[in-house]
Structure 1
Amino acid sequence: MAQAWQCQPPRFLPRPALELPPSGQARRTAIDGYVLALSWSPEYCRGRMRDPAARFQCSGEMGDFGFILHGLWPETKGANYPQYCRAVGVLPRRAVRDNICLSPSPQLLQHQWAKHGSCMANRPDTYFGAARLLFNTIEFPDMARLSREPERGTPLTAQVLAERMADLNDGLPTDAITVKTNAKGWLQEVHICLGKDFKPRRCPIFTRRAPTTAQIKIWRGR
């Protein structure tokens, strides 16, 4: 499946809509670390192939994505993470074009900049540059092959997926990786916990995750 380096964006990309901080949602808590959130695109796109709002990610016109960047999120020492630290304007077209293959939705890019990037950087290119650098360092396992292991009688758990990712990435321990599934056990996201130095660290206990022993399923797409 294609990752960001294989995608082919169209010549014209729309600018997203402005996103203002919702009333009472701005929080300027101290940053203690970060989360690199990776979304499993085939699961997100299931049933959305003809959804205009998901056109760039799910229609196939830019490629068939595997993992995409959901976002780079600042964390604090509890669940009250910082968000919407200041109002930001609409992303310039260049910022959308430079990052559309990383997060294939103009509005998702705007949302991440408004909600999370506003707490981390003064300029969108600084925020997305850090996110892109971190994303591009990650090696991913063969997800199609991994998805077939239960069919061969090998149980696939959240811990197994974390171990496969850790095996491919030096310095990334399994306890820095959390797996998120939907109510039916299908993989939705993988989160990588980072310290203030952007190096992997053990995920805090308040982090939402599937139990390590939870059986998971991986949707391969159409």
Structure 2
Amino acid sequence: MPQPSQIRRSAIDGYVLTLSWSPEHCRGRERDPAGRFQCSGEIGDFGFVLHGLWPEAKEPNHPQYCRTVGVLPRRVVAENICLSPSPQLLQHQWAKHGSCMARTPEAYFGAARLLFNAIEFPDMARLSREPERGTPLTAQVLAERFADLNEGLTSDAIIVKTTDKGWLDEVRICLGRNFKPRQCPQFSRLAPGKTQIKIWRGR
């Protein structure tokens, strides 16, 4: 249950579709029971997975935990486990973010699936080897590769998040209230465009 101080019901001004780079998330977690679905390899190896679809406000204090929600039905978990390969993550996203966006988990995850499945992803294995060939890979270059493959998506609608050691962690796509890409608000910027990044390929 969230603390009262965590509950925020601010007006929605847009959304962020957050994509987690699974090989980096799973590094060192291959035998962690809590990460079994995503990291053990039992149901395959993942590339980008959906961290979440988050409502945004006109300021950093985005809406969250707008109302109390129940435990996700097993059917909803089963329908989305390949998109977000953690039952705990699915429950958390519905409680924290979905509760502010949709009346039902089916509607919330349905919207997230449509957005995620519409994305064309760059060849991440090839991109990961560019620094090894002497071509620096920056956050801006990665954003541009996404933009080149997706009509209507511009590089300024993309945020790249890295770990403290410069490894790719997440790619976030900023969306307007109509769920179309928009320039990311200034307060949401993470890695500067010139930041050099590395991509962990996994096992």
TM-score bracket relative to the smaller structure: over 0.9
The answer to whether structure 1 residue 159 and structure 2 residue 137 are counterparts is: no
Aligned counterpart for 2:81 among listed residues 79, 82, 100? 100
- Trace 1:1-222 onto structure 2 (pairs within 5 A): 20-222=1-203
Q: Quote the Cα distance in structure 2 between the aligned partners of 1:28 and 1:34.
A: 15
Quick one: which amino acid aligns to residue 29 of structure 2? R
When the two chains are superposed, the root-mean-square deviation of aligned CA atoms in Å is: 0.5
Q: Quote the Cα distance in structure 2 between the aligned partners of 1:208 and 1:89.
A: 33
Q: Quote the Cα distance in structure 1 between the aligned partners of 2:26 and 2:160.
A: 18
State the shift of 1:62 in Å.
Answer: 1.1
Q: Quote the Cα distance in structure 1 between the aligned partners of 2:36 and 2:100.
A: 29
Q: Quote the Cα distance in structure 2 between the aligned partners of 1:201 and 1:113.
A: 24
State the shift of 1:49 in Å.
Answer: 0.2
Deviation by residue 1:69-104 (Cα, 9 ceiling, x = unmatched):
000000000001000000000000000000000000
Structure with the larger helix share: 2
Greater shift in the superposed pair: 94-103 or 20-29: 20-29
Number of equivalenced pairs: 203
> Partner of 1:211: helix, strand, or coil?
coil
> What is the TM-score of this pair, normalised by structure 2?
0.99
State the shift of 1:161 in Å.
Answer: 0.2
Q: Give the gaps of 5 or more residues in structure 2.
A: none
Percent identity, please.
Answer: 79
Q: Quote the Cα distance in structure 2 between the aligned partners of 1:21 and 1:134.
A: 27
Q: Quote the Cα distance in structure 2 between the aligned partners of 1:145 and 1:210.
A: 21
Q: Quote the Cα distance in structure 2 between the aligned partners of 1:81 and 1:104.
A: 25
State the shift of 1:24 in Å.
Answer: 1.5
Equivalent residues of 1:180, 1:210 under 8 A apart? yes
Quick one: which amino acid aligns to residue 176 of structure 2? G
Equivalent residues of 1:21, 1:87 under 8 A apart? no
Quick one: which amino acid aligns to residue 158 of structure 2? I
Quick one: which amino acid aligns to residue 113 of structure 1? W
State the shift of 1:134 in Å.
Answer: 0.1
> Partner of 1:131: helix, strand, or coil?
helix
State the shift of 1:21 in Å.
Answer: 2.0
Q: Quote the Cα distance in structure 1 between the aligned partners of 2:32 and 2:156.
A: 36
Q: Quote the Cα distance in structure 1 between the aligned partners of 2:75 and 2:36.
A: 19
